[in-house]
Chain A
Amino acid sequence: MSEAVAVTGGPGAGSSIMGIDEVGALAAGIVANVETVIAGKRDAVTASLTVLLAEGHLLIEDVPGVGKTMLAKALARSVDATVSRIQFTPDLLPSDVTGVSVFDQSSRRFEFKRGPVFANLVIGDEINRASPKTQSALLECMEERQVTADGTTYRLDAPFTVVATQNPVEMEGTYPLPEAQRDRFMARISMGYPASADELAMLSTRETKSPLDDLSAVVSLEELRSMIEAVQHVFTSQPVKEYAVDLARATRDDRQLRLGASPRATLQLVRAAKAHAAMHGRDFVLPDDIDALAVPVLAHRLVPTSRALGAHDRDAGPLIDAIVRRIVGETPVPVGSARRN
């Protein structure tokens, strides 16, 4: 009962480009499709779809072998988008990501060979293995949504979403993303190990072939673009905006945090919340949407003080998640009238 109350959609259907109910239905289809491959990871799947619909970028941080790449690939296949995958290594060059200008003998001029970044969904595996130079090349594409080579600017096709994975355990020979660059990712999630039942089921289904082979697209690229457009038209009321700002400000004042959330974080929190609302068939954002996304959207941007880290019990889960949850719990939800808008 309670779950039904928590999940079932709210009232109203807006008159945007795509009906908000349709957005919800399509999103549910995508989630169901991805879940045929990755079982028991509803939160991770939902979060990654949210990021896709909000035109953000996703950072998946977890130990190897839990299905980070699988999730990214399954998502790409489900939406019938172009996918490319970059395996980052220390010797990877920026041009290996963005593309390179080569001299065409026949036309006798330089021609730009597009790199793997020219795709709707770019999977950057083990991004922390690449040199900072290469990392920043990718991150620039992420922010600008364009590539500039030899004075020519090439726009990246929309939708454009980077799903980067990062391995937090293996630290040798890696270049962890600096805070400024982590800020470019809309959300960070971690997969976590599967439940034993899911792991057992996986053993039986993947003995012979990759499950990705059977995965077909449930949404066309056009439909995806319409969904993204619909998400942009989701209504955000003044109280909800105030709430997002309050949360961000609270992180900046918190005494357990050395670095709080940036204004970009506030912006992306609201954008992600819009996508989250739309996915649940609602044409306006609730504070609950903000609450649900606070940890994925905010946690990776915050830096705790060393004192808080020292006092933290490692068995109790990530410190930063606990801090965000506490701030969410302490920040009152504005109840003001939507008509003030």
Chain B
Amino acid sequence: MHPDDRPLSRAQRLALTAASFLLVAVASMALGPLISGSGWWWLCAFIAAGTMFGGSGLRALRVPGSLVPLGELVILLLLLTLVFGGGTSFALIVPTADTFPLFGDLFDGAQRTIQQQAVPAIAVPALSFVLALGVGVLAICVDVLVQTVRMPALAAAPALVPILIPGFIIESGAEVWALVFSAAAYLLLLRVDVRVRRRANLAGGDDDERAATVVPPARVPAASGLATTLGLTTVGILVATVLAASTPSISTSLLLGTGSQGAIFGRGVTPFIDLGRDLRRPEPRPAFHYFARDNDRPYFTLLTLDRFEGAAWGVTESPVDADNTVDALPLPDGLDGEVEAKEHPIDIVVDEVRTTWLPLPYPTRSVEGLSGSWFWDPGALTVRSVDTDTGGQRYRATWLDRQPTPAQLRSARPTGGDDLAPYLALPDDVPSIISETADTVTAAEATPYDAAVAIQSYLRSDRFEYSTEAPVEEGYDGGGFEVIAKFLENKSGYCVHFASTMAVLAREAGIPSRISVGYTQGTATQERVGGVQRIEVDSHDLHAWPELYFEGVGWVPFEPTPGRGSVPDYSRPGAGEAAETPTPTPGASSGAPSGRPELDPDRGLGASAGGSVGVDGWWWRGGIVVLLAVVVLIAPAVLRAAQRSGRLRRIRRGERPADAAWDELVASARDLGVRLDATATPRGAAVALAEREGFREPAAAAALLVLRDAVELERYGPGRHADEASVARLAGALSTARAALAVGEPLAGRYRAVLVPRSLVDRVRPAFGERTATGA
């Protein structure tokens, strides 16, 4: 069973490699439900093919079997460099000193993207890298098991890894067809192996003449092997199913952390709830930072909610138009030449936020320096990507800073036309408290602008309290109508509630409205680069705010949330005169949040949720994976030890003791890689064993003869019962012979004998071996 024992032909090795590759490729398909698209799979298949067929090539070049896995690792590294190394590689595939930090970054990025993305995740480069690396390592494991160790049956263990993973993450686990195809690929691998093995046995038998003459018999003794294989596969599938079913606690949130980690609106699902969760995290995570002149502190919009999905706010999902590239965005709707507007460049560097929506100030005229494909949505002018995310992006956005005067807003023409109708739509069954509140607040106001300012003032008044916890405790988190009604009763909530309430009240008052979700202006640092200031934005700056439409100016943001962000000058009551409301200045809002409630809900609450659980979760997940790996690794050794102690008990009790002793001796020899066929006669096996170095010692040879004669007599001799003396002799001979077996075996070989006992595999396929025909 050593790789050199039965040299396989090139074609046979290639057949085994192809079957192994098929198994890896098919098994990795099981990850499909977790990752969107199929590009990642082709990449993984490419990496697996390169690694495995590269290894096959190495074997064809007669590289020693033990070095092939190392060679395959090198090939894997070269391929990863080719695909992911980018500019750091030398001659495209050779990694340089810069490549490894890049890989490290990709690895970190993958961890973050796994934390932040929802299922199915977008195969961003970092995720693809980790997938490719994982599948590559898997391919090497399978290849080593199939070709070097020659135990293809064990290839099921690595192949189960990608099949099991979906079970941990999504409730439904891997798809059934993936399991079926994987099982089929596994069977095919075993089938190919049986064929190869039989040919090798016939060709490499005792005398070579037979190779030319002997045709394999029509009766294939593989039936038992196939049955065993089917059994093994069934057990594997059962284990996978049971694992997936019995571990609901580590299902969705624990491994990918879509819940507690606050995926940033991965699929546009319940952004409000996610936003709330993020706000409640105890420790903020840096989202991005930007460089801007002193007074250029816009809000950064990620996405805009502009319509109702039932009774909740939702995004208008429109298909991406490939012409809408971000090098030139259109002017925002409704802006005419009278409003003062200046373009300011802002350099943005993304730190940790991973989302397919690009944080941009509204309105932006152009974006430069992005990698990947990014397109703007008509209407909201939000920018999103189809193939990458914000990870590692560094770009310059040209922000159009509009500075409307209250007069301009007040004189805005009444809105009309079908274009804006969707922004005025309200469901039929609006709770009465909403319309009553709208009437009360806006009744006295003459113009839409005044009504908007009144609504903002109303929400910012002392009657309302900012709290990220109250809505959760009271059960009205989110942005639906029921929630708004409850919020108007309880008067406690956070930006989501303020923003959606103001938007709804505005619509009630006839002002087109929508809600933007994104980041407030962030926290200024002392760092200045070339006259611009560096400003940090973290996850606690996540925010939602209403935008109202005024003809001639366009969509204008308001800030109804007390204590968050900054109130635009034009929206202050009595704007144009001295500011009277103690609104926080942008600078103050960051460093010392003076305007915030004493119990700062943004930063102080929710210590039990969020990050700490995330860290624990990672430990958990890691622990479970490590535990599983350890169980898989030591399971053969434990089984083998149990078998040995069972046989020793049989010897002591005198239940066919010689048989037990002989079986144990043969199994020990097999574990060490001695090629003994399972069907060899004791005499034939003894002849083969006597060749070993350890049995040159007369005592060892005598022990071997004692064992052999005892088993022959017990199996084939006239029935004589073993007495205690002979049992003791057997036990002694067995330990002597086992010690002799190990003589001359390198330490690695002994460890392998313990950890990967080959005798166990032999038991699985007793019909495949050819008996050594050494007669008496």
Q: Give the total of B residues in contact with A, Cβ under 8 Å.
A: 47
**Does A288 lie within 8 Å of B718, measured CB to CB?**
no
Counting CB contacts under 8 A, is B268 at the interface?
A: no
**Does B718 lie within 8 Å of A235, measured CB to CB?**
yes
**Which residues from chain A contact B774 at a C-beta distance below 8 Å?**
6, 288
**Does B209 lie within 8 Å of A322, measured CB to CB?**
yes
**Does B215 lie within 8 Å of A311, measured CB to CB?**
yes
Which of B218, B687, B775 interacts with A255 by CB under 8 Å? B218
Interface stretch, picked from A24-32, A48-56, A224-232, A329-337, is: A329-337
Interface string of A304-340 (1 = CB under 8 A from B): 0000100111011101001101101111110111110
Q: Which of B705, B716, B770, B776 has the most CB of A within 10 A?
A: B716
Q: How many Å from the CB of B658 to the closest CB on chain A?
A: 10
Counting CB contacts under 8 A, is B659 at the interface?
A: yes
**Does A338 lie within 8 Å of B718, measured CB to CB?**
yes
Query: A6-B774, A255-B217, A316-B212 are known contacts. Are A288 and B717 too (CB-CB below 8 A)?
Result: no
Query: A5-B704, A288-B684, A291-B681 are known contacts. Are A330 and B776 too (CB-CB below 8 A)?
Result: no
Q: Which of A317, A328, A335 has the most CB of B within 10 A?
A: A335
**Does A5 lie within 8 Å of B687, measured CB to CB?**
yes
Counting CB contacts under 8 A, is B719 at the interface?
A: yes
Counting CB contacts under 8 A, is B213 at the interface?
A: yes
Q: How many Å from the CB of B104 to the closest CB on chain A?
A: 55
Counting CB contacts under 8 A, is A12 at the interface?
A: yes
Q: How many Å from the CB of B718 to the closest CB on chain A?
A: 4
**Which of chain B's residues 717-776 have a Cβ closer than 8 Å to chain A?**
717-720, 766-767, 770-771, 773-776
Counting CB contacts under 8 A, is A7 at the interface?
A: yes
Query: A5-B701, A237-B715, A280-B776 are known contacts. Are A317 and B209 too (CB-CB below 8 A)?
Result: yes
The residue on B at minimum CB distance from A285 is B716
**In the bound complex, what is the Cα–Cα distance between A311 and B773 (angstroms)?**
24
Q: Which of A10, A253, A289 has the most CB of B within 10 A?
A: A10
**Does A289 lie within 8 Å of B776, measured CB to CB?**
yes
**Does A322 lie within 8 Å of B213, measured CB to CB?**
yes
**Which residues from chain A contact B680 at a C-beta distance below 8 Å?**
333
Q: How many Å from the CB of A328 to the closest CB on chain B?
A: 6
**Does B770 lie within 8 Å of A1, measured CB to CB?**
no
**In the bound complex, what is the Cα–Cα distance between A7 and B705 (angstroms)?**
11
Which of A256, A291, A330 interacts with B775 by CB under 8 Å? A291
Counting CB contacts under 8 A, is B429 at the interface?
A: no
Counting CB contacts under 8 A, is A292 at the interface?
A: yes
Query: A276-B776, A284-B718 are known contacts. Are A325 and B687 too (CB-CB below 8 A)?
Result: no
Which of B213, B687, B713 interacts with A284 by CB under 8 Å? B713
Which of A11, A280, A316, A336 interacts with B715 by CB under 8 Å? A336
Counting CB contacts under 8 A, is A2 at the interface?
A: yes
**Which residues from chain A contact B210 at a C-beta distance below 8 Å?**
316, 322, 325-326
**Which residues from chain B contact A285 at a C-beta distance below 8 Å?**
716
Query: A1-B696, A10-B713, A11-B710 are known contacts. Are A333 and B213 too (CB-CB below 8 A)?
Result: no
**Which residues from chain A contact B283 at a C-beta distance below 8 Å?**
none
**Does A2 lie within 8 Å of B771, measured CB to CB?**
no
Q: How many Å from the CB of B214 to the closest CB on chain A?
A: 5
The residue on B at minimum CB distance from A3 is B687
The residue on B at minimum CB distance from A331 is B771
**Does A330 lie within 8 Å of B213, measured CB to CB?**
no
Query: A11-B713, A288-B683, A329-B771 are known contacts. Are A283 and B718 too (CB-CB below 8 A)?
Result: yes
**Which of chain B's residues 201-230 have a Cβ closer than 8 Å to chain A?**
205, 209-210, 212-215, 217-219, 221
**In the bound complex, what is the Cα–Cα distance between A335 and B682 (angstroms)?**
10
Counting CB contacts under 8 A, is A260 at the interface?
A: no
**Does B691 lie within 8 Å of A287, measured CB to CB?**
no
**Which of chain B's residues 470-491 have a Cβ closer than 8 Å to chain A?**
none
Q: How many Å from the CB of A258 to the closest CB on chain B?
A: 15
**Which residues from chain A contact B209 at a C-beta distance below 8 Å?**
313, 315-317, 322
Counting CB contacts under 8 A, is A196 at the interface?
A: no
Counting CB contacts under 8 A, is B366 at the interface?
A: no
Counting CB contacts under 8 A, is B327 at the interface?
A: no
**Does B773 lie within 8 Å of A338, measured CB to CB?**
no
Interface string of B695-716 (1 = CB under 8 A from A): 1100001001100111011111
Q: How many Å from the CB of A287 to the closest CB on chain B?
A: 5
Counting CB contacts under 8 A, is A106 at the interface?
A: no
Query: A11-B712, A291-B773, A325-B773 are known contacts. Are A330 and B687 too (CB-CB below 8 A)?
Result: no
**Does A6 lie within 8 Å of B683, measured CB to CB?**
yes
The residue on B at minimum CB distance from A287 is B681
Which of B212, B213, B659, B716 interacts with A240 by CB under 8 Å? B716
Counting CB contacts under 8 A, is B621 at the interface?
A: no
Which of B215, B691, B716 interacts with A2 by CB under 8 Å? B691
11 contacts between A and B (CB under 8 A): A12-B717, A253-B219, A287-B681, A288-B775, A311-B215, A322-B210, A323-B214, A325-B210, A335-B715, A337-B715, A338-B718
Q: Which 3 pairs across A and B sit closest by C-beta, in order of nearness?
A: A288-B776, A292-B775, A316-B209
